[in-house]
């Protein structure tokens, strides 16, 4: 039996009050100590070796669970200890390294925590013992390679899975897997012998699975002298917890495999096209010379893997009834039965137009299996039918499919406002895709937050499929005119009052240092009128640190001294999809005299305005001192656009930022609009005195306005 030992990481975490000096503090350090036990068949060797160096972050929480400090690398505390208020109740320091993924190769996650107090004027050292916080899994196939040309082990914890073996390119057989702790772990082995026959072991499941455990799955072949039939073998599995033999007799001389036949013209790998409502008899017959051990069956829309999977060998009345409700007639099979018929006539007859699949996994008495997917394409008696609609605020993208072998000369749509509007013929251009027999159109002139119905149209008439949809709202943001401001202490805030906040700036942190870079402008505005104001962003310097004039949708959290910077949140809730951001701006740049990011030292400063839509679950937390910023190319950014300029202006001009949508199917949860008088202000680079005015922002939702 093999098992990995505890992997400890000791972290000395230095914290001090404002009054303490760095002299006399204990030096921060970290080490990793590993105990390795070899196989029982070998001499046990215990050795201490240095591990690859890991980077541990440390987060400090107060007694109420609120985060009060963070450092990305605890080793920086050696020279820059964190400063925390003394005399309060206990703090908790949490150290971690890596990401606690559901399942990942070669990415371990370590964590640990410790509680402590801070005394006035004294340095407190905290030891944090970090151990492997997920489950380690390795696979050893060396004992079966001689017999099988393909081996594939699937391991899952219920939330993620990894596949070990030689079936993928590159091979994953020697990788190390790490799983989050869910309490369970299961594996399934698929084998293909040297003659091409496929075998599958039933899943083995473990319970009470804990963190910091190593499951070493070792597969080997042993001759079974008592088995009938030449070449019968037993697969022995060492799962690192208990050694056990999984009795699986694999008869290499058996050439039979389960088969699937149909009476509706199915050919392997080819979809079956059926007219909607077709009542012709349709049956599937399953055959096995050696008798069935398992028949697993599932069905549904193509690409939908969430439906139930039915086991028909030994199926109870509840399974047979569930199938009957969907129009599928099947009987329960007994283990060893050599055939089973499934009648699909009623099920297929009632399917709406679309693509569907029937999935079978058949295992015979010798654990030889067949896996098959039958694709169904249900088409209409009409020449074309609507397939899908993606509604925006003032337009919708519609897709339809033609059913004829050749493309109809006329392909179009009709739409109407519900409940009783007149049908309107689409008069624009459609784009066709002969390979999928589909066509697409952008239907404009729709009203926001309105219900519509749509159908396909050809010269022969309209299709039978009606798709109802609702257009999105033309959502906006509070105070996009920047006419509303209030003052708290020395800091200005671009909102009506402190009860409803959409916009913020760095003023909350810089005001205490004697500078307020973002202020309301009352005389120099883009649109004149009573009460009209603009936002004036001025880059400035306080206590030797450069601060760009800025404004953004979100919230300023706090200024940080170690490292010097600020923590803030970007993004406010937003569910619509505008096409562009418009507004007025005026820029008066200076020559960059602070910092050198982007090679800007000595060059004319640059202003920047950005907009992004994201499907975050919460606002993004930025830490300028730690260099933690939004990755605008990340998969969670659904749309992005930016505008930059270094031109000196005397009058306001308009700008327009068109959003580049990377994903038109997901809906946003948050919006970020941010403007800065110095593009590289986040990196403390820019020109003191560079000034950006912005005013009268608005969103564009109608594509006709952008033509």
DSSP 455-515: EEEETTEE-S--EEEEPPP----TTTT----EEETTEEESSSBTTB--EE-THHHHGGGT-
Q: Which three-class secondary structure state does DSSP give residue 450?
A: coil
Contact present, 622 and 567 (Cβ < 8 Å): yes
Q: What is the predicted pLDDT for the residue at 36?
A: 21
- Last residue of a domain, which of 117, 132, 147? 132
pLDDT means over runs of 10, the chain (707 residues): 29 28 29 23 24 71 83 75 73 84 91 78 74 85 83 91 91 93 87 76 75 80 44 44 48 71 86 82 93 93 84 94 94 94 90 86 84 87 88 97 86 96 95 91 97 95 90 96 92 88 86 83 94 95 82 87 77 97 98 92 96 96 83 94 97 97 95 96 91 98 94
Both tokens of 17, joined, read 């009050």
Q: Are residues 459 and 528 in the same domain?
A: no
CATH number, domain at 649?
Answer: 2.60.120.890
CATH number, domain at 436?
Answer: 2.60.40.10
The verdict on residue 1 lying in a domain is no
Per the rule left: phi > 0, alpha: psi between -120 and 50, beta: everything else, 575 is alpha
For 449-505, the pLDDT digits (tens) are: 999 999 999 998 888 889 999 999 999 999 999 999 999 888 899 998 888 889 999
Q: In sequence order, which ranges of 183-306 are alpha helices (DSSP H)?
A: none
Q: Are residues 126 and 140 in the same domain?
A: no
CATH number, domain at 13?
Answer: 2.60.40
Q: CA–CA distance from 258 to each of 232, 340, 412, 474 (Å)?
A: 20, 11, 47, 57
Give the whole-angstrom CA distance, residue 332 versus residue 315: 5
CA atoms within 13 A on the CB side of 415: 31
Q: In what order do the strands lie in the sheet with 329-330?
A: 259-262, 283-287, 339-343, 329-330
The verdict on residue 203 lying in a domain is yes
The verdict on residue 32 lying in a domain is yes
Per the rule left: phi > 0, alpha: psi between -120 and 50, beta: everything else, 183 is left
Name 2's Cβ contacts closer than 8 Å, sequence gap at least 6.
37, 38, 39, 40, 214, 216, 238, 240
Give the whole-angstrom CA distance, residue 414 versus residue 396: 12
Strand 424-425 and strand 259-262: the pairing is unpaired
pTM: 0.53
Q: Are residues 674 and 569 in the same domain?
A: yes
Name 15's Cβ contacts closer than 8 Å, sequence gap at least 6.
60, 77, 81, 82, 83, 84, 91, 116, 118, 123, 124, 126
- Last residue of a domain, which of 356, 379, 402? 379
The verdict on residue 564 lying in a domain is yes
Q: Are residues 451 and 494 in the same domain?
A: no
Q: Are residues 390 and 428 in the same domain?
A: yes
Determine how many CB atoms are found less than 10 A away from the CB of residue 9. Answer: 21
CATH number, domain at 337?
Answer: 2.60.40.1220
Residue 546 belongs to domain spanning: 486-706
Q: Are residues 229 and 177 in the same domain?
A: yes
Decide: residue 19, CB within 10 A, 0-12 exposed, 13-18 middle, 19+ buried: exposed
The verdict on residue 192 lying in a domain is yes
Q: Are residues 617 and 628 in the same domain?
A: yes
How many independent structural domains does the chain possess?
5
Q: Are residues 183 and 323 in the same domain?
A: no
- Last residue of a domain, which of 132, 147, 176? 132
Q: Are residues 500 and 452 in the same domain?
A: no
Q: Are residues 347 and 411 in the same domain?
A: no
Both tokens of 362, joined, read 């058949």
The verdict on residue 228 lying in a domain is yes
Name 59's Cβ contacts closer than 8 Å, sequence gap at least 6.
67, 69, 70, 93, 94, 96
Q: Are residues 37 and 122 in the same domain?
A: yes
The verdict on residue 480 lying in a domain is no
Give the whole-angstrom CA distance, residue 379 versus residue 465: 11
The verdict on residue 481 lying in a domain is no
Q: Are residues 100 and 187 in the same domain?
A: no
Q: What is the predicted pLDDT for the residue at 119?
A: 74
**CA angle at 499 for the pair 493 and 501, rounded to the nearest 5°:** 50
């Amino acid at each position: 039996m093999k098992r990995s030992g505890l992997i400890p990481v000791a972290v000395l975490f230095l914290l001090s009050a404002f009054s303490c000096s760095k002299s006399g503090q204990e030096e921060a350090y970290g080490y990793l100590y590993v105990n390795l036990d070899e196989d029982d068949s070998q001499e046990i060797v215990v050795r201490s070796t240095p591990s690859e160096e890991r980077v541990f972050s440390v987060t400090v929480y107060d007694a109420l669970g609120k985060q009060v400090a963070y450092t990305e690398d605890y080793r920086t505390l050696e020279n820059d200890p964190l400063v925390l208020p003394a005399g309060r109740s206990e703090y908790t320091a949490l150290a971690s390294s890596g990401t606690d993924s559901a399942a990942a190769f070669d990415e371990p996650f370590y964590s640990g925590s410790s509680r402590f107090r801070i005394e006035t004027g004294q340095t407190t050292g905290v030891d944090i013992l970090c151990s492997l916080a997920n489950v380690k899994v390795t696979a050893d196939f060396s004992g079966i390679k001689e017999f099988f040309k393909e081996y594939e082990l699937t391991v899952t914890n219920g939330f993620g899975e990894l596949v070990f073996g030689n079936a993928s390119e590159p091979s994953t057989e020697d990788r190390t897997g790490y799983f989050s702790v869910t309490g369970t772990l299961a594996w399934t082995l698929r084998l293909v012998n040297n003659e091409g026959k496929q075998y599958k072991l039933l899943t083995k499941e473990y319970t009470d699975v804990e963190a910091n455990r190593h499951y070493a799955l070792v597969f080997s072949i042993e001759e079974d002298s008592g088995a009938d039939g030449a070449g019968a073998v037993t697969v022995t599995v060492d799962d690192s917890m208990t050694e056990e033999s999984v009795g699986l007799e694999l008869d290499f001389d058996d050439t039979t495999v389960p088969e699937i036949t149909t009476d509706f013209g199915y050919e392997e790998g080819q979809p079956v096209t059926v007219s909607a409502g077709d009542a012709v008899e349709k049956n599937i017959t399953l055959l096995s010379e050696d008798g069935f051990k398992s028949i697993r069956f599932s069905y549904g829309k193509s690409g939908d893997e969430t439906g139930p999977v039915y086991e028909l060998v030994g199926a109870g009345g509840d399974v047979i009834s569930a199938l009957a409700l969907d129009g599928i007639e099947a009987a329960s099979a007994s283990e060893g039965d050599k055939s089973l018929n499934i009648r699909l006539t009623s099920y297929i007859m009632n399917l709406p137009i679309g693509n569907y699949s029937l999935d079978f996994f058949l295992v015979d008495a010798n654990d030889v299996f067949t896996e098959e997917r039958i694709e169904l394409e249900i088409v209409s008696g009409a020449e074309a039918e609507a397939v899908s609609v993606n509604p925006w605020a003032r337009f919708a993208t519609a897709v339809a499919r033609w059913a004829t072998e050749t493309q109809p000369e006329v392909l179009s749509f009709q739409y109407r406002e519900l409940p009783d509007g007149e049908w309107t013929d689409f008069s624009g251009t459609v784009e066709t895709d002969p390979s999928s027999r589909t066509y697409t159109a952008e239907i404009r002139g729709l009203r926001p937050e309105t219900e519509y119905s749509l159908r396909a149209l050809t010269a022969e008439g309209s299709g039978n499929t009606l798709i109802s949809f609702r257009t999105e709202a033309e959502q906006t943001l509070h105070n996009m005119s920047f006419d509303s401001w209030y003052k708290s202490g020395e800091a200005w805030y671009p909102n009506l009052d402190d009860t409803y906040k959409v916009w913020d700036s760095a003023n909350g942190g810089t005001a205490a240092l004697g500078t307020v870079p973002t202020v309301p402008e009352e005389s120099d505005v883009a649109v004149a009128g009573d009460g009209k104001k603009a936002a004036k962003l001025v880059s400035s310097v306080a206590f030797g640190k450069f601060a760009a004039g800025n404004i953004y949708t979100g919230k300023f959290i706090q200024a940080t001294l170690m490292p010097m910077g600020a923590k803030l949140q970007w993004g406010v809730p937003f569910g619509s999809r505008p096409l562009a951001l418009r507004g007025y701006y005026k820029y008066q740049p200076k020559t960059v005299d602070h910092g050198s990011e982007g090679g800007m030292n000595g060059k004319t400063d640059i202003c920047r305005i950005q907009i992004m839509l994201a499907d975050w679950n919460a606002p993004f937390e930025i830490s300028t001192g730690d260099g933690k910023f939004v990755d605008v190319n990340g998969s969670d950014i659904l749309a992005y656009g930016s505008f930059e300029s270094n031109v000196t202006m005397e009058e306001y001009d308009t700008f327009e930022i068109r959003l580049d949508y990377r994903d038109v199917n997901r809906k946003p949860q948050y919006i970020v609009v941010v403007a800065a008088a110095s593009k590289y202000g986040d990196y403390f680079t820019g020109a003191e005195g560079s000034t950006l005015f912005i005013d009268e922002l608005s969103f564009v939702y109608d594509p006709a306005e952008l033509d």
